[in-house]
Amino acid sequence: MPDAEVHARADIPAREIALLKQTVRDAGALGLSMFRTTLKVWTKGESSPVSEADIAVNDLIQSRLQAATPDYGWLSEESADDESRLGKRLTWIIDPIDGTRGYLAGREDWCVSVALVENDRPLLAAVFAPTTNEFFFAVRGQGTTCNDAPIRASTGTALDFPRIAGPKPLVERLAAPRQDITLYPRIGSLALRLCWVANGKLDAAFAAGQSRDWDLAAADLIVHEANGRMTELSGGPILYNRREVTHGLLVAAGAERHAHIVEQIRHR
């Protein structure tokens, strides 16, 4: 790779880091100010709820990031898809409120999730859960922090099922026949579920099919930079900012445990 390209890429996180942190913090504060209030709610697609809070948070993030980086692509759950993003080297991928159902139900398991993706992999990531005051941040090659303190995924290969989150039918593929398993209680936000692997609160997390780029991109980098791995069940990487933004079955865990889980699933 030419030196000029290396330097150009290395300059990007330093230039965007303050912008991303402040934007996501302000977006979380806006979401929190509307939390547990009476909101207009409607349904998109077949059954996905949207509220005026989702749109307000999305508008705040979009106004900040697009004004500062007009040449970057944009992909958000709450914006019409502009396929010009497919020709961009750098694209923002956003879920303004991940876990909208929980948010509307007054639960605390929701967050704001934003990633800057270079080509097909995340370069910068921020996930903020305002109700629990957890601010996860990662820069490719520079590690992951939560509230500015470095974090690491748990080590080892043991499968302690109460420390694993995700759809039970998926996790049962790791259990012995007729073994009863008890999982970690359901977490409405997929991004938050994955980030809890990065800080060791969970040993592993699974995602069923139909997750989208905006559910995953920020958490993906946060997990990887915390010495974890997040891949398809086959072990293949997750690629972002493609025409198709829907993904299949996924698993995240510390590096050793992830390798063990993928191997177990291959042989079941």
pLDDT in tens, the chain (268 residues): 333 333 344 466 678 899 999 999 999 999 999 999 999 999 987 788 999 999 999 999 999 999 999 999 999 999 999 999 999 999 999 999 999 999 999 999 999 999 999 999 999 999 999 999 999 999 999 999 999 999 999 999 999 999 999 999 999 999 887 788 999 999 999 999 999 999 999 999 999 988 999 999 999 999 999 999 999 999 999 999 999 999 999 999 999 999 999 999 988 7
Q: Which amino acid is at 71?
A: D
The SS3 of residue 171 is helix
Return the H-helix or E-strand segment holding 69: none
Rounded Cα–Cα distance for residues 74 and 94 (Å): 8
- Work out the end-to-end distance of the chain between its first and last CA atoms, rounded to an integer number of angstroms: 41
> Left if phi > 0, otherwise alpha if psi is -120 to 50, otherwise beta: which for 136?
beta
- All domains in the chain, ordered by first residue: 3-150 (3.30.540.10), 161-266 (3.40.190.80)
HSE toward the beta carbon, residue 253, CA cutoff 13 A = 29
Q: How far, CA to CA in Å, does 122 sit from each of 7, 41, 46, 241? A: 17, 31, 29, 10
Whether 126 contacts 218, CB under 8 Å: yes
**4's tokens:** 């000029």
**123's tokens:** 């370069």
**255's tokens:** 């590096």
Rounded Cα–Cα distance for residues 242 and 147 (Å): 31
Rounded Cα–Cα distance for residues 258 and 7 (Å): 33
The SS3 of residue 13 is helix
